[in-house]
Structure 1
Amino acid sequence: MNEPADLTPAPAEGEPIASAPSTRSRSTLLKRLADVVCLPASRVNGFERAMTADLLVEMLREASPEDRAKVARRLANLAEIPGGLSRLLLRDDFPVARALLEHSTTLGDADLIDCVLTTTLEHRRMIALRRGISEVVVDALVMLGEDQVIEALLRNDLARMGHDAIETIVATTRDNPRLGPLLLKRSELKPSHAYVMFWWSDADCRRLILQRFAVSREVLQEAVSDVFGMAAEEGWQDPLTRKALQFIERRQRNRLAIAKSPYDSLDEAIAAAASGINRELAEEISYLSGVKPMTGAKIFTDPGGEPLAILCKATGLPRAALRALWRGLRRPETDTTGAMAPALERVLTTFDMIAVDRAQTVLRYWNWSLSSALTPALLKAIRDGDHEGMDEYSIPQRTAMLALSRDLAR
């Protein structure tokens, strides 16, 4: 016959305890309470589960890290963890919270965001690795600007990234180039992001951007071919239509600028540039090429040189014109051994690899985003470093803020 269970009553609160509670009894009690919380609905009702969870929360506050970790592992596979219990464990030290962050599939966005905002880098990195984390959780992670967390997010193919998160990460790549190749693999990245990221990317990333995002405008040109005639009949009165059609049309060189230029053609201006480029000549070449002087300045001062290849290819200039610009900018054409300088060789390769129509797409996007979007308010925001109100601006305006903020601050 079994002996009756020992039901000796526990001392009342405040009553002296004969001896400290044994580790074994505490661990066992914690395990039993966790077991009750984990019982199916057919065995325990909601009120009983909530009451048990409340008791468990109170015990866990003073339990050892080992005991808290055991409870977290026990609850990690539970279909529904009581809110107060999950919140307590998620805010705990990383070794305790890890089991829930790594294995629990039922944590809500509110719990995860609370964990993001109140815990450590290790917690956030583990959240970034979770399968299928939502856009709002990703936004909370990206907002803190931690490179290790952003890298984990970019490696997580199942993380859902919205436009704002991608745009923030694009800006982050300016100071952390290691993130660039990872971001370029994301399907959420759009041309508007990639084209601005181009300006501070290394040579390998620039090549990938041109290969992936330098798209043809053939479909657009076919779709709106009759609109050009309509706009001409109206005298190009609608500035919005005119700006959009300028982006789409096939012709790149500016015929009106050529009529006013001291040079008979863009080719002649490029030939003159071979002996040296000053600001006036750079602006003239920009106008003749169909871009604004600010866009031209960005192209001519780019240290990598690939934008020069885009400019020449988009305007139908030959390879010799690219070399003439290179020489006019006083950039080295040969190395110490007399062979072609690696930078020039890379730029010429860029010229060879990209088609005219695709180069025009890149050049026109730069011109659209780096010049036409620069309103006085935007210029002031760039100079002041005001990125708080980014949502007030359009995509090309935000692009300009990212690409030009440091140039204008000089």
Structure 2
Amino acid sequence: MSEPRVRAEETGTRPLRARRALLRRLADVVSLPASRINVFERSVVGDLLVDVLRTAATDERRRVAERLAPLGELPDALKRLLLRDEPEVARPLLEECAALSDADLIGCARDAGLEHRLMMAARRGLSEVVAEALFNWAEEAVIAAVLRNDTARLPQSAVESVIALSRNAPALCALILRRPELRPSGAYVMFWWCGAEERRIILQRFAVSREVMQSSVEDVFALAAEEGWSDPVARKALQFIERRQRNRAAVAKSPYADLEAAVAAAGAGGLTRELVAEIGYLSGIKPLTSAKIMGDAGGEPLAILCKATGLARRDLAALWRAMRRPETTADGAEHPDWRRVQIIYEMLAVDRAQTVLRYWNWSLSSALTPTLLRAIREGEEALIDEYSAPERAALLALAENFGR
């Protein structure tokens, strides 16, 4: 049938009224239950509705989107059109529509804009694959919205990407700490750039005991000793698990009688590079780990070192002075930084402090290889072993030390 001719004076309200009515009727047909319309019929109606919608006003498109949002099934072409429309049109579908697949959402995230991704981030029941896709844009506002979404599920790869981004986006630290997907390895490396409150939360939540590990591998220490500790992989793992923190062998080679004597020397004369390294050796950690602890602006790692090694509060105070950190304010009151460090020292159990300290030492030093050092210096994350937690931790924690 040929299209009817329309005189110029008839191009006013009558055809527009017809179009609006047509939009409503087609939307009604698409919304019919499966008992009334089959999938092929729905698809044909959807194609026709898409053609009419493309020239409809924004308000009309929005009303159609609101009409279709409650449906459990929608024609693909119709979904694609509405999801990529203006944010106010796409909103009902992005926030409510159960007919959207992960592929629909990822396609929208790719082809639409920031506002669409923000709406998608707050969507109930957001899946792991969609969350990871949203994180690919590294948009802080979108990532924050996903982290606030308690119904979203995050894969570990997405959690790791947020941890890396949080180094330059401090607001993300508190949000990722709320997530049940965060693991101790991520929390321990985040500790280095978190604020005081986030550090306290990390220590309360993630400073775990090694008691179960110790009881499970107790007989393995004797086996490793019989082999002369020749297996480096077993040796590093057992060093992490063992109960003793201080390095007894280092005392025999040290110019100081024990760790307390080295700390007293630091308190009296200040810290030097050699003394920082010596305190590290006596504490059972590498000089790099010791230097990272002594150079930390917040001071909490110092409390962890002292508690893990059995140093007394007077030794903590000596090291605090050696680091040239204030104990009092200008009006004579106790300095808040010094008070906070003492609280951390008191709240931590020795075993839990050792877990944190040993994880830092494991990740900051034992994982360092020429390849990893190159990755840290050049920012080449592809060079690291994707399955190695300590390598990933070292890359993040030490990047600032190499000018990244």
Aligned position for 1:95: 88
Aligned position for 2:98: 105
| Residue 43 (structure 1) aligned to one of 11, 14, 36 | 36
The question of whether the paired residues in 1 share the 8 Å contact of 2:371 and 2:384 is answered with no
Q: 1:398 offset after TM fit, Å?
A: 0.7
Aligned position for 1:315: 309
Aligned position for 1:248: 241
Aligned position for 2:380: 386
The question of whether the paired residues in 2 share the 8 Å contact of 1:31 and 1:71 is answered with yes
Q: Which runs of 5+ in 2 are unaligned?
A: none
Q: 1:133 offset after TM fit, Å?
A: 1.0
Aligned position for 1:11: 3
Aligned position for 2:341: 347
Distance 1:329 1:78 in 2: 64
Distance 1:22 1:378 in 2: 69
Show CA shifts across 1:293-337 (max 9, x none): 111111010000000011111000001111101111111121111
Q: 1:389 offset after TM fit, Å?
A: 5.4
Distance 1:277 1:41 in 2: 78
The question of whether the paired residues in 1 share the 8 Å contact of 2:69 and 2:92 is answered with yes
The question of whether the paired residues in 2 share the 8 Å contact of 1:11 and 1:17 is answered with no
Indicate the percent of aligned positions where both proteins have the same amino acid: 60
Distance 1:322 1:284 in 2: 16
| Residue 402 (structure 1) aligned to one of 376, 381, 396 | 396
The question of whether the paired residues in 1 share the 8 Å contact of 2:328 and 2:334 is answered with yes
Q: 1:62 offset after TM fit, Å?
A: 1.4
Letter of the 1:223 partner, please give it.
S
Show CA shifts across 1:168-209 (max 9, x none): 111222222222222111110000000000000011110000
Distance 1:10 1:71 in 2: 28
Show CA shifts across 1:316-362 (max 9, x none): 00011111011111111211112221111111111111011000000
TM-score in terms of structure 2 length: 0.96
Aligned position for 1:361: 355
Q: 1:388 offset after TM fit, Å?
A: 4.8
Q: 1:375 offset after TM fit, Å?
A: 1.2
| Residue 59 (structure 2) aligned to one of 56, 66, 85 | 66
Distance 2:385 2:57 in 1: 46
Letter of the 2:140 partner, please give it.
D
Letter of the 1:302 partner, please give it.
D
The question of whether the paired residues in 1 share the 8 Å contact of 2:371 and 2:383 is answered with no
Q: 1:45 offset after TM fit, Å?
A: 2.2
Alignment of 1:142-153 (within 5 A): 142-153=135-146
How many residues are paired up? 400
Q: Cα RMSD (Å) of the superposition?
A: 1.5
**Does residue 222 of the first structure (1) align with residue 215 of the second (2)?**
yes
The question of whether the paired residues in 1 share the 8 Å contact of 2:95 and 2:124 is answered with no
Aligned position for 2:229: 236
Indicate the SS of the match to 2:42: helix
Distance 1:77 1:87 in 2: 16
Aligned position for 1:160: 153
Aligned position for 1:305: 299
Q: 1:10 offset after TM fit, Å?
A: 6.3
| Residue 162 (structure 2) aligned to one of 151, 165, 169 | 169
Show CA shifts across 1:230-258 (max 9, x none): 11111112111111100000000011111
Point out the more displaced range, 211-220 or 329-338: 329-338
Distance 1:263 1:46 in 2: 83
Show CA shifts across 1:97-125 (max 9, x none): 00101110121000000111111222111
Distance 1:374 1:393 in 2: 15
Indicate the SS of the match to 2:98: coil
Letter of the 1:313 partner, please give it.
K
Letter of the 1:184 partner, please give it.
L
Q: Which runs of 5+ in 1 are unaligned?
A: 1-8
**Does residue 75 of the first structure (1) align with residue 95 of the second (2)?**
no
Distance 1:203 1:337 in 2: 23
Letter of the 1:349 partner, please give it.
I
Letter of the 2:219 partner, please give it.
D
Q: 1:46 offset after TM fit, Å?
A: 2.2
Letter of the 1:122 partner, please give it.
E
Indicate the SS of the match to 2:381: coil
Distance 1:261 1:389 in 2: 37
Point out the more displaced range, 173-182 or 186-195: 173-182
Q: 1:391 offset after TM fit, Å?
A: 6.1
Q: 1:372 offset after TM fit, Å?
A: 0.9
Letter of the 2:3 partner, please give it.
P
The question of whether the paired residues in 1 share the 8 Å contact of 2:70 and 2:97 is answered with yes
Q: 1:228 offset after TM fit, Å?
A: 0.6
